Structure 1
Amino acid sequence: MSPTAADIERYRRNLRDEVDGAALYRYLAAAEKDPNLREVFLRLAESEDRHRALWEEKLREAGAEVPDYRPGFRVRFLGWLARRFGTASVSPIVTRMEMTAYTMYDDQPEAIAADLPRDERSHARLFRELARSTRGRAVDIDIARLEGRHRAGTGNALRAAVLGANDGLVSNLSLVMGVAGANPGQNVVILAGIAGLLAGSLSMALGEWISVRSSAEAFARQLEIERDELNLMPDEELEELVLIYRAKGLGEEEARATAQRIIANRETALDTLAREELGMSEEEAGNPWVAAITSFLTFSFGAIIPVIPWLFLAGIAGVAASAAASALGLFAVGAAITLYTGRGVLFSGARMLTFGLAASAITFGIGRLIGVSTGI
């Protein structure tokens, strides 16, 4: 079947993207001082040249003119930034570009036949590694990386707990104060506070469950792809590992020797490819139920603070006690955040206290206006 007009236009779009990709990698290679990374960029440029040749051939076969595309402004600007500030300055941007192109060829039969989807996945993984790696350090890479990830995992869990409590406290304090401003009575304020606690914590738990579950499913799918590629194309997987280790600073011989040792054992190779290419291991995919329950509990812990005083007090006394209890909670959360920011306890605590009370004052004022206007 002859290519349609839509096919020809698609070929042209693909060709334009590949011209930009090849040019970008050559700009990065020209700006890179590390010879190992420079070679990695040049190899990627050669890969994009092969892709470009495919789409030029498809256009000729379709009897269409092959456009003489030049690199776009965005690519030229990134090249200028790389020359001025180094390739590390643009690596996160290029990583996002590559992640966007991760599946660009998955539904194009001509690209699938030429194995282009695998190349795009490889490029995305490599740049994710480049953005994450510390350049120039080539000693005990895997051990250091694993140790760092264990520390990061613990820190992230604690950070999530602190921020979950903060979300519950600020949102429910604002809700309670907004209802209290209308002065509907103690029971209504308590009901609103409990409803806000349950609605927020259940929503957070469901969102966290879906997020972790989706990540685990996506990881399982990518792991299956890696397993197939390792069985069908071990030489290509070997070269990909070599590039990754070259990007980390290893020389050609050392990178190849390391990759060959890993590829020799299929299970070890799969685990390593998952960590090096996908950026995580099976254990790190997470348990969605643990994530959901933790999110529910931490949000609830923060959300119950402004409600507790209303169980014993009403009116202005309830408002004052709720504000005081919440102020202590806000300051404590702000102080806990200094574990990650490194700022002073007083500064962070006072900042969180100010923002939280300001939000509650606004909702209280709005509640007061609504209460007066409706005669509650």
Structure 2
Amino acid sequence: MRPVEEPPTARQIKRWRRYLANERAEAAVYRELAHRKEGTERDILLRLADSESRHEEYWRAKLGEYVGMPQQPGLHTRFMGFLAKNLGSVFVLALMQSAEARTPYVDDADAPDQIAADERVHSEVVRGLAEQSRERISGGFRAAVFGANDGLVSNLALVLGILGSGVSPTIVLITGISGLLAGALSMAAGEFISVRSQAELIEATRPNDEIDRVIPELDVNANELALVYRARGLEEDEAQERAREALEQFRQAELNSQVPAGAAPASKESGVDGAWAAALSSFCCFGLGALIPVLPFIFGASISVGAVVAIILVSMALLFTGGVTGVLSGRPPLWRAVRQLLIGLGAAGVTWALGSLFGVVLG
């Protein structure tokens, strides 16, 4: 005779209903992301959605007659649904990675081990998808975040340093605008040179496919082609084997009158385009960040009021950029935001102290 199961407690019913709503919403998030993708990424996201739907059915069956009316998912899950519909997938994937990794099922005796294991695996799957998205935006994002933070911190430090020396608001405004323009142009030039130099360095070490054109003319006995493969990192025996295979392929192609013409040299336009994109991103983001500390003085604020407002505005901006960096890195954003704030205000505080010192000495 099977034992009679005790009815769930009110606390269990409430928790299970929340699980049910969250699983339903997460499945919808994955399906929304899948609509924006194609190929392998689309298939993976749809499979994740199907898995979340299976979890949803588990909690629905476990609730049974206590399932009640559909509930709203948690605020975090609703926020991810909003992002999935209105913003790029990289933000959503980064948030989903964190959510899957922090699954509550691990510590819940009512959740089967299989579902908890599924959620852990989902975290790794989403991590892989998010990594691809991060790689696509890494260059521009790095330039944008670095430019914005540099503009915020450097111009706030410059403004506070000038304020500490006791000059008028007009001088502070002129100095801040000059710092904005000089810093933005310097950042743009630096990013352009950096990205172009990196592209040229990579281009110099990339294997030259033009070598294919001379393979049929090589001396089979001397087989200089093996040296090419050895220079690319293969062991001697493996290099010799690869060279023999390449020569045999070209011999067969020649007999069939299908000798390849050789690959066209790699285009360098992508490196140039990337350099200009990084430069423009740095210029705009540095300029936007550097504008914030001088905004109060553009609107005619006094020295004391302008300093307070500038510090508040920059603090909010530093918290935002730090939080965004944390989200995209798949880690808790709060500490990244606070760290960014402390570093930025610390640098500005040191500059203000030095400005005050020089003001006293020169005064």
Q: TM-score w.r.t. structure 1 length?
A: 0.48
**Bigger Rg over Cα:** 2
TM-score (norm 2): 0.50
